[in-house]
Structure 1
């Protein structure tokens, strides 16, 4: 028999009714579906009940459980009402696992050891004080008024006694001080051991705050065994993709090791849970934005104001007048579009344990491989060296999500960046650092600006740039060099340009004026390129 309550029935703040037998249960987190922000948590607990009506009571839900999203499901009995409570819980019995008990005993043992060590140090310090007091006393024995009346033999015996006793007292003080110093150094190890034991205990039992409570009424026609499953959302958890991209230059093989950083601050530890990762974003925008009507108006032109009289207040007023009347429409702050429209999930096979509030746990999600085309990318306008680039198509059949990406050239670590979304079948590229032996230099050889003719009616600017690239490495490189020339969208601003040699591609990636040259460079080879451009515009205008 299986029953489900699809909605939270009742939230109360009064004691539970006593008509049914209360059966206290201790639940555990069995499965978690993590979103980039938030998680769906499933708790399961078996039960054995005699025939009749009973209340299954869970008092170990986290205090910040989103009770509005809580759903309960029962197998093995007929399910009735569901009651939740966040405060004023009935008392619950504390069940301690063997691991928790052992951890607490270890903390107590190390606390006792630390106290005993500190007591030993205190006793050694007392011995030092006693020896020093004895030395001081012996030093005063020879200063009494009756010493002069003693005979020589007595004085000799007294001097020997004082000397021997003083030496013994000083040796005792020295030994006790030395032992105390050694013991104090040992305190550090004991303190570290105690801190580790307390940390281990805290990892097992991190939460001390109150818990939320759930009570489910069930009816069993006969003694039954079943399972209570509770599902709810929490926003104190999430995951983020992470990648290691490794390029083999000899073969062009690009290896992408996928992983995920998992985190949670729910106030309880997840121990051996079944973990799934989803790209859905229930915490983000879940419906399209609404659009309202657009009212435009016409009217007489506004009077022109002197610029110096146009202050911030007048600016604000003018903008208000010119603004269309769509302010009444709701303004929706858009969520990050990195995952919108995607529904990818990853099931992590082995059970996972994640401590609450601990550092992010990294898990592996498998490895992808693809072939990359390698080139040296040269941008002499900004860089003094070319960079190693790997261009590839995501032919893995899987989506590569945005995330922290670390780059390796063979076994050497290159650096990291935040990677972009790469859909299946899309083209992309990755950079694997500078090539120190491919040097770049861009020099402006000539730049002239002035008027033309005796009667100046126009302005002009001429510029010549020389680009030099040198291969100082011992191998050949395919090079793609990028530069640019200015462009104009105004009829009065005339721009002419030429390059030697002519570029292989103009307006690269639909960027007007961006030029590209593709060529092979042999070891030790040097290449030079030249770019000339001229601009002309009316005298009454200025170049911007």
Structure 2
């Protein structure tokens, strides 16, 4: 069976590599990595005589989207390009220099370990021989007829037994000491071998199947050329990492940025030219499409929920609106649409194993610092900083955002997307000394009378804010009142004092009060709401 398989492989190789075919080896030389996906560039240099040839590459990962492959050729005229995923001839899978070196180190240490173990065994044999001599001497001392010996002969024998016993015990003790020292050295060698084996295992092998790419070419004469292949893969991406530092005294925010890079393409990227891009080609690439809105009347029993339709990857509902460290650091390039970061040093990323952290330039901006209180949800106010991004920088959404206040870590939470030049409001943790209370003073619900036969609900809430920090704070207090979308539901409300803003950040019914709260001061806000509706209806 093995002979048949070998013969079939040789036939495939012969069929694929004819006299005009030139086997070529390529490597990944550059990659532009997006938050999801990457455009990979690989290069191959070749030599060819004059005439028509086909360059044969068998080292593309099998999962390469072959329909996205684009080829350029230097030094010759490009012909047709064909690809193949199955029935690919075997390729040279020679191990890299790093793997060969690591494997040689493991073999050296294994041989040294065998030699040391043999040495320990030899030393133990010396100790066993000394113990055998001791047993023999003990046997002489208890032998029958020894008492019948002449005194002179008996004295000489006793002296001989003493000397031999002492020498044997010394030999046994010396062999044991040398054996123990050798075993300690053996333990050190075993630990060194374990580390060498781990180092070998850490060199991620490239064992995935490969695809074939054949490029037809015409050479006018002997030449040395270069083949460049580009394609886009989904098995790569980068995630932004942000450390946000707020200086209260300087009233500035410094955003230290980095990126976590990963790839699972089936091959290791070694010393490539890396560019990170904020473009997101995997997401919706064109604007949503609006379809005609044609309301129709019908009987109540015929009313059904309006269908949801999917338009170009965006879920839409009819008649509703859509919702610096000293290190190698990437250089930003802004083209008006997105930002690219070209990393200055070669980068290596093992497939499916490495999570490489890279540094990006930091951003600084002035900060408008204040406190925000939401008594409906919280017991304390939170320190907020409002900043505006420079016009050539964007912030990508990430859970890897860590916040620092005057050099102290205050927490990690989600950071949302912010476009270039946009304003961001950032939270730097609770202000424990600004306490909040929201007390429901009255709540009533019932009929207002037999004539109108209507129902109502009334509520009076008192909000109490107290500053125990020892310093004055500019404070924004948020609360809400109900909003009616039905004519039959009547809602009125009253606030003392009046709010400074109604519809805070375009959120209906959200009220905002802004004032400076001095150290030791307390402020109260009273909010009254009244809702009434026809009898027979239920308020939800």
TM, length-normalised to structure 1: 0.76
CA contact (8 A) 1:50 1:222 kept: yes
- Equivalent residue of 2:16, what SS? coil
Q: Aligned partners of 1:139 and 1:121: how far apart in 2?
A: 26
CA contact (8 A) 2:49 2:222 kept: yes
Q: Aligned partners of 1:456 and 1:160: how far apart in 2?
A: 126
Give RMSD over aligned pairs: 4.4
1:41: Cα distance to partner? 1.6
Q: Aligned partners of 2:257 and 2:188: how far apart in 1?
A: 45
Q: Deviations over 1:215-253 (max 9, x none)?
A: 333332222232111222222212223322221111211
Q: Aligned partners of 1:299 and 1:97: how far apart in 2?
A: 74
1:383: Cα distance to partner? 1.5
Q: Aligned partners of 2:452 and 2:119: how far apart in 1?
A: 99
Larger deviation, residues 39-48 vs 277-286: 277-286
Larger deviation, residues 413-422 vs 530-539: 530-539
Which residue in 2 is equivalent to 1:364? 359
1:389: Cα distance to partner? 0.3
1:276: Cα distance to partner? 2.3
1:347 partnered with 2:345: no
1:45: Cα distance to partner? 2.4
Which residue in 2 is equivalent to 1:309? none
Which residue in 2 is equivalent to 1:4? none
- Equivalent residue of 1:397, what SS? coil
Which 5+ residue runs of structure 1 have no aligned equivalent?
1-11, 303-317
Larger deviation, residues 136-145 vs 55-64: 136-145
Q: Which of 455, 467, 474 does residue 463 from structure 2 map onto?
A: 467
Q: Aligned partners of 2:439 and 2:376: how far apart in 1?
A: 9
Q: Aligned partners of 2:429 and 2:86: how far apart in 1?
A: 57
Q: How does 1:244-283 map to 2 (within 5 A)?
A: 244-283=243-282
Larger deviation, residues 139-148 vs 350-359: 139-148
1:133: Cα distance to partner? 7.5
1:15 partnered with 2:11: no
Q: Deviations over 1:74-116 (max 9, x none)?
A: 1112233334344544565566665554343233323334444
CA contact (8 A) 1:127 1:176 kept: no
Which residue in 1 is equivalent to 2:107? 108
CA contact (8 A) 2:130 2:168 kept: no
1:477–1:16 Cα change, 3 Å: same
1:158–1:415 Cα change, 3 Å: same
Which residue in 2 is equivalent to 1:528? 524
1:410 partnered with 2:406: yes
1:363: Cα distance to partner? 2.0
Q: Aligned partners of 2:451 and 2:14: how far apart in 1?
A: 97
1:484 partnered with 2:480: yes
Which residue in 2 is equivalent to 1:243? 242
Q: Deviations over 1:254-278 (max 9, x none)?
A: 2223332221122222222222233
CA contact (8 A) 1:438 1:469 kept: yes
Q: Aligned partners of 1:493 and 1:323: how far apart in 2?
A: 22
Which residue in 1 is equivalent to 2:314? 334
Q: How does 1:111-510 map to 2 (within 5 A)?
A: 111-117=110-116, 130=128, 146=144, 171=173, 175=177, 178-179=180-181, 182-183=184-185, 185-187=187-189, 189-199=191-201, 202-203=203-204, 206-286=205-285, 302=301, 322=304, 333-334=313-314, 343-403=338-398, 404-449=400-445, 461-490=457-486, 494-510=490-506
Larger deviation, residues 135-144 vs 273-282: 135-144
1:149–1:98 Cα change, 3 Å: same
1:514 partnered with 2:514: no
Which residue in 1 is equivalent to 2:57? 58
1:433: Cα distance to partner? 0.8
Q: Aligned partners of 2:479 and 2:497: how far apart in 1?
A: 13
TM, length-normalised to structure 2: 0.77
- Equivalent residue of 1:419, what SS? coil
- Equivalent residue of 2:110, what SS? helix
CA contact (8 A) 1:495 1:536 kept: yes
Which residue in 1 is equivalent to 2:48? 49
Which residue in 1 is equivalent to 2:3? none
- Equivalent residue of 2:344, what SS? strand
Q: Deviations over 1:462-484 (max 9, x none)?
A: 54433333322233221111223
CA contact (8 A) 1:131 1:173 kept: no
1:19: Cα distance to partner? 4.2
1:364–1:529 Cα change, 3 Å: same
Q: Deviations over 1:147-174 (max 9, x none)?
A: 9978897898799689868966884686
1:27: Cα distance to partner? 1.9
Q: Aligned partners of 1:132 and 1:454: how far apart in 2?
A: 117
1:377: Cα distance to partner? 1.0
Q: Aligned partners of 1:141 and 1:264: how far apart in 2?
A: 75
1:383–1:402 Cα change, 3 Å: same
Q: Aligned partners of 2:125 and 2:468: how far apart in 1?
A: 74
CA contact (8 A) 1:82 1:214 kept: yes
Q: Aligned partners of 2:46 and 2:511: how far apart in 1?
A: 73
CA contact (8 A) 1:285 1:335 kept: no
Q: Aligned partners of 1:335 and 1:444: how far apart in 2?
A: 40
